[in-house]
Structure 1
């Protein structure tokens, strides 16, 4: 038996979701066939049978967002990693486990997701955008770190830690052994912030 939370999406919401998915699917197909830099937003819109204005209404950030759309999923996932960590697990251990299960660090991703990760890793514009959407989470992660540390608001040290945590996957992704590089980076962070 399948159960759902809340009311089912209405017709309008279903149509919006279908349009977003059609645009994202068309972009991925074209990027894989011809390379990211050789595809225009006009071609993506045409392949999805929509107008360019519709594409930008759904993806205001443009081409990069078609592959790396961020509807708050990253921040929600970071929040869950910190707040829902198992009892006795440090915040930094929870964040390490969170990143180790994502993107370039997880060797057991479904094929569809792996294709996207590989495309991002070999496309500088996509990788720069991915880094930006993660770094944009810095203020919120600093707040989560303050909450975990039992302080009312983050000080400079927690803002620095938040930035380091969010930059670590970018740095580790280019090392020959990505998972080992990620583990090493988090080991250093734990030395600097042993209370977290």
Structure 2
């Protein structure tokens, strides 16, 4: 086991646990207030007060403001996309790995708990949150193109590869209101496999 793995497997320290608890309290307070009163009628100061924290603390944890309280930032998405492509099983294509990755997230997952479903419904019906969610995914375009290039020996600046990365990342927003999003996801990836057969 490497030193880095040992560090990762160590339990969180007191400071990290406190930060995680504060983030969770702020996020939960935001969700509760947004559901009760509507996203546009809640101010960030009210969320901080509901979580019993200072406004400066809220912005320290969520510099993206109200949207970030529900959706976080792009960093988790970047690292998860990278892991999905790099960590795919032998014989699994890049497109199959990305399809499987997206199928297990958000609206595509079939095992959502009640709180996450409420959060997802809020995002879909709130224009500002939906725009922010799309931005978070699209912000991962360079990362996704880069990791696909590294895994396949292609040029990350190749327009075809950049197009694929963008199209894959647009799917969650494109099918957000479809009656059967998992079916739409599968259909989207069939198009990708026909358009990029060397990655299928």
Out of 13, 20, 25, the position equivalent to 2:23 is 20
- Structure 1 Cα separation of the partners of residues 198 and 54 of structure 2: 52
Out of 9, 14, 31, the position equivalent to 2:12 is 9
- Structure 1 Cα separation of the partners of residues 167 and 176 of structure 2: 14
Q: Which deviates the most, 115-124 or 172-181?
A: 172-181
CA offset at residue 105 of structure 1?
A: 1.5
1:185 match: 188
CA offset at residue 151 of structure 1?
A: 2.9
Length-normalised TM-score, structure 1: 0.92
Q: Which deviates the most, 168-177 or 61-70?
A: 168-177
Aligned residue runs from structure 1 range 39-188, under 5 A: 39-70=42-73, 72-151=75-154, 153-188=156-191
Q: What is the aligned-residue RMSD (CA, Å)?
A: 1.8
Length-normalised TM-score, structure 2: 0.90
Going by fraction, where is helix more abundant, 1 or 2? 2
CA offset at residue 71 of structure 1?
A: 6.6
- Give the 3 Å change call, closer, same or farther, for CA 111–85 of structure 1 in structure 2: same
- Structure 2 Cα separation of the partners of residues 67 and 126 of structure 1: 8
Gaps of 5+ in 1: none
- Structure 1 Cα separation of the partners of residues 161 and 42 of structure 2: 41
